[in-house]
Amino acid sequence: MHKKDMKLFDLLDYQDPDAVLNEIVQIILLLKYDNIIVHFRSVYEDIQRLFKGDYPGYRASNTKYHNLEHTIMVTLATARLTHGCVRGGIKFNSDTILFGLLASLFHDSGLIQTAYDRKGTGAKYTIGHERRSIEFMRQNLSLKKFSKKQMDACGHLIACTNLNIDIADIPFQSPELQTMGKIVASADLLGQMADRHYLEKLILLFKEFEEAGIPGFASEGELIEKTEGFYKNVAKKRLSKDLDNIAKYMKEHFKHRWNIGRDLYADSIKNNISYLKSVLSHGKKTKKFYRQHFKPGGMVD
């Protein structure tokens, strides 16, 4: 395939955790911080076990949108954007890069239920799940002998993924960590909105919102219809203003890692929104209509 025709999901199998891990390790090696690989691998393996139900004291993940695939896609986006920033002239020490990657791995762990929590699904924790994610992070990293200061730094980065928190209000330990916080928050938005299955996964997201009691969406159709507005008025604004458009450095990653002169995340998001607009141009439709357009592979079932 010619470089100009390459799409984001042509680069590797994003549904294969081992393939994603190998690519992140490759990026860490490009950053010349191979000293953090052992720590990263250890947490990556723990997060896989957590989501699969093999971590002591916890049930398997049962949220279909915020699942293991979402988590590793966000972590990969964090690694890529960090690499792009470094190629663009921004400097980070090894701890900051490690904390950024770990925060990405932990950022939705708060949606996992404990073994004794048998009511509903983890979606009920959607509102405020970042706090629970930070609690799990502290539990996990304390076993690995991380210091309180290190865990505090990681916790601040996890907090950045909360759309209701102003990045400026988080007491980062350094400007460098604040920049990493903007990377993690950007990666959380980019990773999901660039997903080639993003639009059909909105039906799964509605199920989570419904259980969590999040207002503003009476049906999955309404959530789909409001997605373009979310992109323009929330995600795009947050990326460009609150997060200082740090996502612009993603292009540097693809240039230096793949010899591609485009930001494949931006391309994928543009394609998703364009397709969404084309579907919505037919007017308000029934649930059956949306499921016919956003259901490759029977994912919703």
Question: Residue 4's pLDDT band (boundaries 50, 70, 90)?
Answer: confident
CB contact set of 182 (below 8 Å; sequence gap of 6+) = 160, 167, 243, 244, 246
Q: Assess whether pLDDT exceeds 90 at residue 201.
A: yes
Indicate the range of 57-71, 204-218, 282-296 predicted with least confidence: 282-296
pLDDT in tens, 16-68: 999 999 999 999 999 999 999 999 999 999 999 999 999 999 999 999 999 99
Q: What is the structure's pLDDT at 294?
A: 72
Structure tokens at 22: 């190998």
Mean pLDDT of the chain: 94
> Could you tell me which of 143, 51, 163, 43 has the C-alpha nearest to residue 101?
43
Q: What is the structure's pLDDT at 301?
A: 43
pLDDT in tens, 70-129: 999 999 999 999 999 999 999 999 999 999 999 999 999 999 999 999 999 999 999 999
- Matching residue, tokens 């916080």: 181
Q: Assess whether pLDDT exceeds 50 at residue 252.
A: yes
Question: Residue 167's pLDDT band (boundaries 50, 70, 90)?
Answer: very high
Q: Taking residues 139-162, report their average pLDDT.
A: 98
Whole-number Å distance between alpha carbons of 87 and 237: 25
According to the CATH classification, is domain 13-298 in 3.30.70.100? no
Q: What is the structure's pLDDT at 5?
A: 82
Question: Residue 292's pLDDT band (boundaries 50, 70, 90)?
Answer: confident
* DSSP codes joined into one string, the chain: --GGG--GGGSS-TT-HHHHHHHHHHHHHHTT-GGGHHHHHHHHHHHHHHHHT-STTBPPP--SSSSHHHHHHHHHHHHHHHHHHHHTT----HHHHHHHHHHHHHTTGGGSPBTT--SS-GGGG-TTHHHHHHHHHHHHHHHTT--HHHHHHHHHHHHTT-TTS-GGGS--SSHHHHHHHHHHHHHHHHHHHT-TTHHHHHHHHHHHHHHHT-SS-SSHHHHHHHHHHHIIIIIHHIIIIITTTGGGGHHHHHHHHH---S-HHHHHHHHHHHHHHHHHTT-S--HHHHHHHS-GGG---
Q: What is the structure's pLDDT at 284?
A: 62
Q: Assess whether pLDDT exceeds 60 at residue 267.
A: yes
Q: What is the structure's pLDDT at 289?
A: 73
Whole-number Å distance between alpha carbons of 29 and 21: 12
Q: What are phi and psi of 114, to 5 degrees?
A: -75, 165
> Could you tell me which of 269, 264, 256 has the C-alpha nearest to residue 227?
269
| Identity at 192, one-letter amino acid code | Q
Q: Taking residues 270-276, report their average pLDDT.
A: 95
Three-state SS across 136-169? Answer: HHHHHHHHCCCCHHHHHHHHHHHHCCCCCCCHHH
Whole-number Å distance between alpha carbons of 18 and 150: 27
Q: What is the structure's pLDDT at 288?
A: 73
| Identity at 3, one-letter amino acid code | K
Can you give the residue ranges of every domain in the chain? 13-298
Question: Residue 186's pLDDT band (boundaries 50, 70, 90)?
Answer: very high
- What sign does the dihedral 240-33-137-66 (CA atoms) show? positive
Question: Residue 297's pLDDT band (boundaries 50, 70, 90)?
Answer: very low
> Could you tell me which of 109, 110, 97, 83 has the C-alpha nearest to residue 39?
97
Integer-rounded Cα radius of gyration of the chain = 19
